[in-house]
Structure 1
Amino acid sequence: MLGAISPGPDFAVVVRRSAVSGRGYGMAAAAGIGLGVFAWVVAASTGVAALLAASSVAFTVVKAAGAAYLLYLGAKALRAALRRGGEFRLDLPDPGKKSSAAAFLEGLLTNILNPKAAFFFVALMPQFISEGAPLADTVTLSLVGLVGTAAWFLAVANLVGALRRVFARPAVRRTVDGLTGAALIALGVKLAVTTRP
């Protein structure tokens, strides 16, 4: 839970998606992030994440893809902040004309393309699961990670979604887009210059 609560690209994506597109889209992004955490826990428990952590080539590929994706999301948010569009209408569920599946994929890719998650779970999993543990233990631990992460981000999506009328104000919307865009770009740059521990 502490890992999920710590601010990062996942948080920025859920806040922006909930503020701009609505609660349902924020919840879809939260579900994608939860599935990403589930995948990382499984990968760490089965040793796949350790291979990523040990291989400089694999780390560099995932790092470059993750940084590029965060930069893309940040640039998209900044472009939306600078655009002088018409009135924002709450009856349009997604002003970006994207589906909830696209929001889900955005959350999933933001989490999966973060190599820091591999290091986090490689360091965390041995505390809770021993070598040669049965598959049921791995699945149970993975589900705990999924449920905890999803619960946090669903709460964030619902809170921001409940305040959507505030976020519908053009100045507020541009501020949210600008701040999340800048945060995502900063996180993308930080990820791009990260070296393997």
Structure 2
Amino acid sequence: MLSVVSPGPNFAIVTSTATLRSRRAGVATGLGLAAASATWALLAVAGLGLIVTQVEWLYLGIKLAGALYLIWIGLRMILGARKPLAAAPDTLESGVFASARKGYLVSMTNPKALAFYGSIFAVMVPAHAPAWFYAAIVSIGASVSCLWYCGMAVLFSSPSVRGGFMRFKAVFETLMGVFLLGMGGRLLLSR
């Protein structure tokens, strides 16, 4: 739970999507993040998380992809900060699915998630636990992520919070873009 609630790219992407787009898009992003948590948990209980953390080129590939993706999203936010919001409602294809996919990709390329599930999580899970135990771990990981991120999407898309942020849309979007750009740059430069 502590890993989920600590600020990072996942938090930034769900709150900015909920605030700047819509509640539906924010919740879809939260569901994408939860699906990624389920994927990471499944990889960890299958033992693949440990492999990813031990195979340097694979870890570096995920880290590089994550860094470039965060930089790309950050640049798009900065460049679009001064543009007015589109009044068109989300369509299923462009809004919900794109938001869920964005959340999933941000989390799957997040080295914090890789470190958590690939090391601490994989080491703490017993090697010969019953199948129900593994299923419970995946379900709990996805549920905690879903509750937190979808809750944040609902909170940040509420009229009062959204209204306050919308008055400062350009500043908020620029700051979130700079934050994501900085996280991506930090990933590129880290060892």
Contact 2:65 2:109 in 1 (8 A): yes
Gaps of 5+ in 1: none
| Amino acid across the alignment from 1:167 | F
- 1:101 deviates by 0.4
- 1:166 deviates by 2.6
The aligned counterpart of 1:110 is: 106
The aligned counterpart of 1:165 is: 163
The aligned counterpart of 1:193 is: 189
| TM-score, normalised via structure 1 length | 0.88
The share of aligned pairs that are identical, in percent, is 26
Contact 1:19 1:173 in 2 (8 A): no
Q: Does 1:182 align with 2:178?
A: yes
Q: Does 1:155 align with 2:176?
A: no
- 1:98 deviates by 3.3
Contact 2:26 2:157 in 1 (8 A): yes
The aligned counterpart of 1:124 is: 121
- 1:191 deviates by 1.4
Mapped to 2, the partners of 1:154 and 1:114 lie a distance apart of 18
SS at match of 2:175: helix
- 1:80 deviates by 1.1
SS at match of 1:34: helix
| Amino acid across the alignment from 2:162 | R
The aligned counterpart of 1:139 is: 135
Mapped to 2, the partners of 1:101 and 1:192 lie a distance apart of 28
- 1:34 deviates by 0.6
Gaps of 5+ in 2: none
Pairing of 1:31-110 with structure 2 (within 5 A): 31-81=31-81, 83=82, 85-86=83-84, 88=85, 92-94=88-90, 98-110=94-106
Deviations 1:79-120 (A, max 9, x none): 111x3x35x47x5335xx932100000000000012331221
May I ask how many residue pairs the two structures share in their alignment? 187
Contact 1:44 1:118 in 2 (8 A): no
| Amino acid across the alignment from 2:36 | G
Q: Structure 1 residues 174, 98: CA separation in 2 closer, same or farther (over 3 Å shift)?
A: farther
Mapped to 2, the partners of 1:157 and 1:105 lie a distance apart of 16
- 1:77 deviates by 0.5
Deviations 1:117-168 (A, max 9, x none): 12212213433x3112222211110110111111011111011100223333
- 1:22 deviates by 1.0
RMSD: 1.9
| Amino acid across the alignment from 2:19 | A
Contact 2:47 2:122 in 1 (8 A): no
| Amino acid across the alignment from 2:171 | T
Mapped to 1, the partners of 2:51 and 2:122 lie a distance apart of 14
Contact 1:74 1:182 in 2 (8 A): yes
Q: Does 1:7 align with 2:7?
A: yes
Contact 2:40 2:114 in 1 (8 A): yes
